[in-house]
Each structure stands twice: as C-alpha cells, then as structure tokens.
Amino acid sequence: MSLRAEGISITYESADGRRKRAVSDVDITIATGEFVSVIGPSGCGKSTLLHCVGGMLAPTAGRVTLDGAEVREPDPARAAFVFQDYSLYPWKSVLDNAAIGLRFAGVDRRTRRERAMRQLELVGLAEVAHSYPSELSGGMQQRVAVARALTMEPDILLMDEPFGALDEQSRRRLGVEMSRILTAAGKTVVMVTHSLDEAVYWADRVLVLSRGPGRVIQDIRVEGPRPRTLDFMTTPAFDAQRVRLFTLLEHEYDEAERTADRPAAEEPPGAGTKLAKDAAASGGPR
C-alpha cells in the first residue's frame, strides 16, 4: 500500500492558546514494500509526523492518503504502530498481548489466538506465548510489540524508536531479524530512529528532518538489496551514508544552537491541531 503525505504542516496549540509549529510543509511518497527511516534532531517533529501519518493526529494543513484514500483516523488493520515503550499489558500473557488488537476489533477468541500465535512464531516467541511480559527480556518484549502490530495484518508498520530501550548489541541482532521478517512479509515500513546505523542498515531510504519545525531536508536512497546482513555494516557504502547523515544532523544541531537565543517561532492564536485520537493504533495501552 503506497502512502502519501502532501503539504503536511502541524501546529500544536497549548492550553493558554499559544501555537507552536511542529512540522512544516512535508511531502513524502512511500511505495508499497519500501522501508523508510526518519531521522532528525530531538524535538524536530518526528513522532508528530508519524502520528499524523497513522491518523492519530489531524494535520493543520495538507493530507495523508493510503492508496489515494485520505487517512482520517487510526486504522490498525492498515497502518499499525510499534512504540518504544512496548505498551504491553503486564497482567496478560504474551499471546493475549499479541492478540489484543484483534480483540478490540471484535474477532473471536479462537481466531485471534491463532493469528497471534502465527506472528509469535514468526518473531521466534512461540515457546513463551503463555508467559507474562515481565518474564521476558526487553528485546523479547519488543518482539511481542512487533508481533502484536503484525497480528493486525497491516499493510504499513509505523515504528517510533522501536529499539530505543535496548542495548546496542541487542538492537543490532534484533535489527537483523526484524529486517528479515519485515522484508519477507513485504510490509511498507516507516521507522523513526535516533540511531544512524539503524537508519541506514534497515532502510531503502532515509528521510532527514531539519530542526523543528521539521521539514524534509534530505531524502537519501540506500543502495543494496534487503534483507541485509550485518556484513552490510562493514561496507564503505554504509560508512559513507552514515557519515553523510551525521554531518547533516550536526549542521542542524549547530543551527539550533545558533538560533536558540532568539524568541521561539510562534504563530498567532487560532485553531491549532489536537490529538485526534489517543487510541493506540496497535491496540496497546497508552
């Protein structure tokens, strides 16, 4: 399923009526099966943009479409979220956690358990299906969160720093595995990450956002077939891309510091955007 964001600007309005633009004039087209990572300085609007793409937040201007149809609300059967903090229910088994979105969708218990079990097998967690999340390592819990999103059989997976809570080595190992799974499943993926390694390693394209309010300042193609193996990280091409991203980000941070003393860019009062829905698109507790 192809995804388009056209002329997206997002302005938040605080309780006292002050307006702050978080995302500015973003145009993105993502083809079916493409893996796109999004990087940018902290606070530049990455999560805001992802929420908007997933229908959880209405843009102040512009529109998001999936295969031409406008996205107006979260629909986990089309675009499911994976969040950094897993958002698992501690009192439910791994299997019930993976099946929770289907439960909200009204799917019968047997079917939802079957479908969830298939995804748990895919991410290598079938043997802990009846454990509680607290009995699992962070990496395993993250895989439950991915299985939960995949159980909805979405066309698109939206991931916001999905491996941020893991140590570097676990992150890499999980990255290899996830890259394989998602490539095999032919999913379209948009992943926000702070890791340049991750951004390049996984993706067909890397979008670089400017300091806030975020604009797309570079759209970089990463050559080389997916899924990738860890060897890809030792190639000169990988290194060159990584350095390029690092330089771009450094520049944005420098600019942010240089302009930090100036008054924040505010907009006149008016109708800012608000969280359209706080419902978790993946069905998790948020």
Q: Which does 42 bind (CB under 5 to 8 A by kind): Mg ion, ligand ATP, none?
A: ligand ATP
- Return the residue of 2, 47, 93, 131 that touches Mg ion, per CB under 5 A: 47
| Residue 172 makes contact with ligand ATP by CB under 6 A | no
Q: Is 157 helix (H, G, I), strand (E, B) or coil?
A: strand
| Residue 194 makes contact with Mg ion by CB under 5 A | no
Q: How far is the CB of 120 from ligand ATP (least distance, A)?
A: 29
Q: How far is the CB of 136 from Mg ion (least distance, A)?
A: 24
Pairing of strands 3-13, 35-39: unpaired
Round to whole Å and give the CA distance between 211 and 209.
Answer: 7
With CA atoms as reference, report the closest residue to 53 among 18, 3, 17, 87. Answer: 3
Contacts of 225 (CB under 8 A, 6+ apart): none
DSSP 156: E
Site of tokens 């479409």? 65
Round to whole Å and give the CA distance between 99 and 120.
Answer: 10
Q: Which does 234 bind (CB under 5 to 8 A by kind): ligand ATP, Mg ion, none?
A: none
DSSP 161: S
- Return the residue of 25, 33, 47, 132 that touches ligand ATP, per CB under 6 A: 47
Q: Which residue lies nearer to ligand ATP by CB, 22 or 99?
A: 22
Round to whole Å and give the CA distance between 192 and 201.
Answer: 13
Q: Which residue lies nearer to ligand ATP by CB, 39 or 98?
A: 39
Q: Which residue lies nearer to ligand ATP by CB, 14 or 234?
A: 14
- Return the residue of 5, 8, 22, 200 that touches ligand ATP, per CB under 6 A: 22
Site size for ligand ATP, by CB under 6 A? 13
| Residue 42 makes contact with ligand ATP by CB under 6 A | yes
With CA atoms as reference, report the closest residue to 154 among 120, 187, 111. Answer: 187
- Write out the residues near ligand ATP by the rule CB under 6 A: 12, 14, 20, 22, 40, 42-48, 212
